[in-house]
Amino acid sequence: MSKVIGKFALVLHGHLPYVLAHGRWPHGLDMLCECAAESYIPLLDTFRRLVAEGYSPRVTIGLTPVLCEQMADEDFKRNFLHYLEKRVQMAKEDEDTFNRGGEEHFASLARRWQEHYSRLIDAFCNTYNQDIIGAFRQLQDEGHIEIITSAATHAYFPLLSSDVSIQAQIRQGISSYKRNFGRPPKGFWLPECAYRPRYEWKSPLSDAGPQTPFLRKGVEEFFSEAGLDYFIIDTPMLAGGEALGVYQERFEALKTLWQQFQSQYEPLPEIANRSPYRPYLVSSSPEGKRPVAAFVRDARSGIQVWSGEWGYPGDGWYLDFHKKHSTNGLRYWRVTSSKTDLGEKEPYEPHRAAERPPENAAHFKEMVKEILSTYRRESGENGVICAAYDAELFGHWWFEGPEWLYLVLRYISEDTEIEPTTCSASLAEQNPSVVVSLPEGSWGQGNFHWIWLNEWTEWIWKHVYQAEAEMEALSREFAGRGDDNLRNILRQAARELLLLQASDWQFLISTWTARDYAELRATHHYGAFRRLADMARRYGRHEWVEESDWGFLGECETRNALFPDVDPSWWLDLDFPPR
């Protein structure tokens, strides 16, 4: 008789906006190199270490199409190797500085950094053959992990003004996935866990976007039509949405959207006592489409890991993320405490830090076991915990995170009562049968759209709505033409629109993380789209096109060279219009 009391599904979400050829530091290429060095190679090392020891990680990891395009790019590979070599040199210079000052402990830490980055160079060049995406693909091909896709550029679906735009984001996401991983995806990471059901929608802005309400499809309908099996939602979405509008008073456009949704939302009756420890079928369509499963992100295991104040990364012995030896330099201090000012941080002690992951991992495993035991006792069923985190938490934000992750996966694999699983494997063994309706919302502050739609970001949505309408008009007029020049113009315009639609720009503005950079990027992509759209219209109507415009097209194709398979006809028609 099986002793298994439930399953554990670890889900990692890997994403960065497109930064190649858009600056180096602090928000350009160095950001991508940092995450590759500090998270993606360490994650690969962790998974391979487990496999070598006889364990299968069975992790579900989402790698967004825009992230994959960048890490597969030859320019990234060259720059990444240079970045790692530069970090080795920085560590050598730090060692010399510390030795001159008689600071032996810091000098020893600098030597550790030299060894650390030298190991990364060896792993990147020799273990992974400078092919990070290929290494993830191999792990999936061997059955050890499941890779899921996402929207092409991590667009915020509920606020896009056109279902055709959502369709194009998903199509490009699936196309990119097939090209990189050699098979169709089964799962989809919903950007920002942002969902919108089917209802009569109009633009939240009074001066941009559709002003007459029209029927929009529920996000899950696109997944069903694309052959996807599941996506991930945040815990509050499961409750039905009555408390999701707490931020609506902050901005009139938000209030408009909330009132539109609330006036038409009719939740299915089984809204009470929904447990996050089982997947559900999601449907907002009356047409009998195949429902798509949703796994619910577990809040309890989530906060235990990601919170710097209450979670494991806040342990005083761990390496501090924020304090660096110099601008863009290396780190030599420990967390000390979550309340400690940067100037009061104490020196990092690697041997003391190494003692903490085993204890933290054992605690986490027991917490997982307790959650599953309680659910089984109360429901009579085996549950599944969907523990979802940003991939960059492990290694980038939390230096010791990959070691903790290795131990958690090992401890859980060794416990006969807990079964590690990918999301697809869980669905294959236990198909959900309960159909639920979900409210409009996200995992952002207030569980609605405030982070992405507010007085600081409204102007971006005006640009997005104008560009979406123009792209559809261009596709209707020109997409069927056989002219290669015209097709190249339209393809680059499509790339600029996809990049403009990235949810990162609003997030970086609203959180003040990189406001100037995000504003510059949104302005750049909108301006490029408008110029290319005008060029396409003139060329398609056999009008004169300046030589400088052809030069501009070439510059855009070089600078924003992602998605070689983008197809302007994706914006032509909606494959399955709502009825």
Say whether pLDDT at 250 is over 60.
no
Q: Which of 527, 539, 535 is nearest to 500 (CA)?
A: 527
pTM for this one? Answer: 0.94
For residue 10, the surrounding DSSP H or E stretch is strand 6-14
Flag whether 530 is in a domain: yes
Largest CA distance in the chain: 78
Task: Check residue 258 and give its pLDDT.
Answer: 57
pLDDT band at residue 255, thresholds of 50, 70 and 90?
low
Sign of torsion, CA 524 527 530 536? Answer: negative
pLDDT band at residue 550, thresholds of 50, 70 and 90?
very high
DSSP string, 29-98: HHHHHHHIIIIIHHHHHHHHHHHHTT----EEEEE-HHHHHHHT-HHHHHHHHHHHHHHHHHHHHHHHHH
Flag whether 120 is in a domain: no
Task: Check residue 254 and give its pLDDT.
Answer: 57
Mean pLDDT of 274-281: 94
CA distance 217 to 575: 12
The one-letter amino acid code at 256 reads T
Mean pLDDT of 238-242: 62
Say whether pLDDT at 243 is over 50.
no
Active-site residue (options: 346, 390, 549, 557): 390
State yes or no: cis peptide before 26, omega within 30 of 0: yes
Region of poorest pLDDT, from 87-91, 144-148, 233-237, 333-337: 233-237
**Burial code of 527-551, b = ≥16 C-beta within 10 A, e = fewer?**
ebbbbbbebbbebbeeeebeeebee
Strands (E), 151-222: 187-189, 199-201, 214-216
CA distance 291 to 198: 13
CA distance 50 to 407: 9
CA distance 569 to 480: 8
Task: Check residue 253 and give its pLDDT.
Answer: 65
Mean pLDDT of 528-553: 97
Mean pLDDT of 476-483: 89
Q: Which of 232, 226, 236 is nearest to 191 (CA)?
A: 232
| Digit-coded pLDDT (tens) for 388-415 | 999 999 999 999 999 999 999 999 999 9
Active-site residue (options: 192, 315, 400, 472): 192
Say whether pLDDT at 274 is over 70.
yes
| Digit-coded pLDDT (tens) for 488-507 | 999 999 999 999 999 999 99
Q: pLDDT exceeding 70 applies to what percent of the chain?
A: 94
pLDDT band at residue 248, thresholds of 50, 70 and 90?
very low
pLDDT band at residue 529, thresholds of 50, 70 and 90?
very high
pLDDT band at residue 247, thresholds of 50, 70 and 90?
very low
Say whether pLDDT at 257 is over 70.
no
Mean pLDDT of 446-466: 94
The token pair that represents 20 in the structure block: 């190649």
Task: Check residue 241 and give its pLDDT.
Answer: 45
Flag whether 523 is in a domain: yes
Mean pLDDT of 84-112: 97
Task: Check residue 238 and give its pLDDT.
Answer: 87
Say whether pLDDT at 271 is over 80.
no
CA distance 541 to 273: 60
Residue 429: active-site member: no
Q: Which of 333, 332, 396 is nearest to 113 (CA)?
A: 332
Please give the span between the terminal C-alpha atoms of the chain, in angstroms, as a whole number.
Answer: 50
Q: Of 242 and 48, which is predicted with more confidence?
A: 48
CATH number of the domain that 502 lies in?
1.20.1430.10
pLDDT band at residue 549, thresholds of 50, 70 and 90?
very high
Say whether pLDDT at 431 is over 90.
no
Alpha carbon of residue 539 to chain centroid: 37
CA distance 475 to 244: 37
pLDDT band at residue 314, thresholds of 50, 70 and 90?
very high
**Burial code of 156-180, b = ≥16 C-beta within 10 A, e = fewer?**
bbbbbbbbbbbbbbbbbbbbbbeeb
Mean pLDDT of 55-70: 99
Q: pLDDT exceeding 90 applies to what percent of the chain?
A: 84
Say whether pLDDT at 245 is over 50.
no
Say whether pLDDT at 242 is over 50.
no
Q: Which of 64, 20, 50, 25 is nearest to 390 (CA)?
A: 64
Say whether pLDDT at 183 is over 60.
yes
pLDDT band at residue 225, thresholds of 50, 70 and 90?
very high
Flag whether 534 is in a domain: yes
**Count of beta carbons in the 10 Å neighbourhood of residue 484:** 8
- Number of domains observed in the structure of the chain: 1
Flag whether 463 is in a domain: yes
| Digit-coded pLDDT (tens) for 321-356 | 999 998 778 999 999 998 899 999 999 999 999 999
Mean pLDDT of 463-486: 95
Say whether pLDDT at 277 is over 60.
yes
Task: Check residue 249 and give its pLDDT.
Answer: 46
Task: Check residue 236 and give its pLDDT.
Answer: 87
Task: Check residue 244 and give its pLDDT.
Answer: 35
- What single-letter DSSP state applies at residue 243? T
Flag whether 142 is in a domain: no
- Quote the domain boundaries for residue 477: 458-571
Q: Of 567 and 258, which is predicted with more confidence?
A: 567
**Count of beta carbons in the 10 Å neighbourhood of residue 34:** 19
Say whether pLDDT at 463 is over 60.
yes
Task: Check residue 26 and give its pLDDT.
Answer: 81
Residue 70 and residue 562 in contact, taking contact as beta carbons nearer than 8 Å = yes
Flag whether 541 is in a domain: yes
Say whether pLDDT at 269 is over 90.
no
Say whether pLDDT at 279 is over 90.
yes
Residue 458: active-site member: no
Average predicted confidence (pLDDT) for the chain: 93
pLDDT band at residue 252, thresholds of 50, 70 and 90?
low
Task: Check residue 246 and give its pLDDT.
Answer: 41
Region of poorest pLDDT, from 7-16, 277-286, 555-564: 277-286
Q: Which of 368, 305, 392 is nearest to 43 (CA)?
A: 392
CA distance 535 to 551: 12
Task: Check residue 291 and give its pLDDT.
Answer: 87
CA distance 276 to 297: 7
